[in-house]
Amino acid sequence: MFYARIMEFKIVELEREPVEFNLELKPGAIDFGEEAEQVGELDTSGQAEVIHEHRGPREIVADIRLKGRFAGRFEVPCARCIEPVEIPLEAEFDLIFRPIGADVDPPERSITASETEIGYYQGDSLMLEDVLREQVLLSLPARTLCKPDCKGLCPRCGANRNTQPCSCEEGPKDPRWEALTGLRSRIKS
Ligand SMILES: [Zn+2]
Ligand SMILES: [Zn+2]
């Protein structure tokens, strides 16, 4: 066993022996898109190995099993006011990756619950960063608030109501209604 220096698991190497990894990734090493921004180092460790799936006398599919964990801190937008909120994320994963195309047109495809854990790799290798990106995004809470009573953004003027009180809430009376009220009172009298 040895420690991978780059984040790519090649089938030919995994066929020889399982590969262990233990990395501290700097922010920017993986692009998490707009949903999350890494703050500080992202620690990850685990092991990759080949699992041969025998599908009959001739067909052997080389799956990659990736087991590991990650831990890091991320900034995600508050669900109400979109200000960045720093949250810790930590998770373990145990995943199977099949070569792309291995499941095209199988004789009888049985979809079981465990099937959902199966991913695919392209070509002859699996990139750790692709797996980590997906695992981090999957571990994000559905809804993060900067504070339980975040007042959010004003739907009318867009001001952050936590820091910028606006007068939209009561709302100034629409002058057209004032005109109507005036008209009505004139009709009545
Ligand atoms: Zn907020
Ligand atoms: Zn407003």
pLDDT in tens, 2-52: 444 458 999 999 999 999 999 999 998 888 988 899 999 999 999 999 999
**So what's the pLDDT on residue 18?**
96
Higher pLDDT, 115 or 20: 20
Give the distance (Å) from ligand 1 centre to CA of residue 152.
5
Asked if the model's pLDDT at residue 132 lies above 90, the reply is yes
| Residue 28 to residue 38: CA distance in whole angstroms | 7
Stretch 103-112: mean pLDDT:
57
Q: Which ligand is nearest to the CA of 148?
A: 1
| Residue 70 to residue 135: CA distance in whole angstroms | 9
Give the distance (Å) from ligand 2 centre to CA of residue 155.
7
Give the distance (Å) from ligand 1 centre to CA of residue 135.
25
**So what's the pLDDT on residue 143?**
92
Give the distance (Å) from ligand 1 centre to CA of residue 12.
49
Stretch 181-186: mean pLDDT:
55
What 28-36 contacts at long range (C-beta under 8 Å, 24+ apart), as own/partner pairs, is 29/129, 30/129, 30/132, 30/133, 30/136, 31/133, 32/74, 32/133, 32/136, 32/137, 33/137, 35/76, 35/137, 35/140, 36/74, 36/75, 36/76, 36/136, 36/137, 36/140
Of 37, 113, 38, give the one whose Cα is nearest residue 72: 38
Give the distance (Å) from ligand 2 centre to CA of residue 27.
36
Give the distance (Å) from ligand 1 centre to CA of residue 166.
16
Please give the full DSSP string across 77-129, using - where no structure is assigned.
Answer: E-TTT--EEEEEEEEEEEEEEEETTTTSS-SS----GGGGGEEEE-TTEEEHH
pLDDT in tens, 46-105: 999 999 988 888 888 999 999 999 999 999 999 999 999 999 999 999 999 999 888 765
**So what's the pLDDT on residue 106?**
55
Give the distance (Å) from ligand 1 centre to CA of residue 144.
8
**So what's the pLDDT on residue 166?**
87
Give me the helices (H) in 17-88, please: none
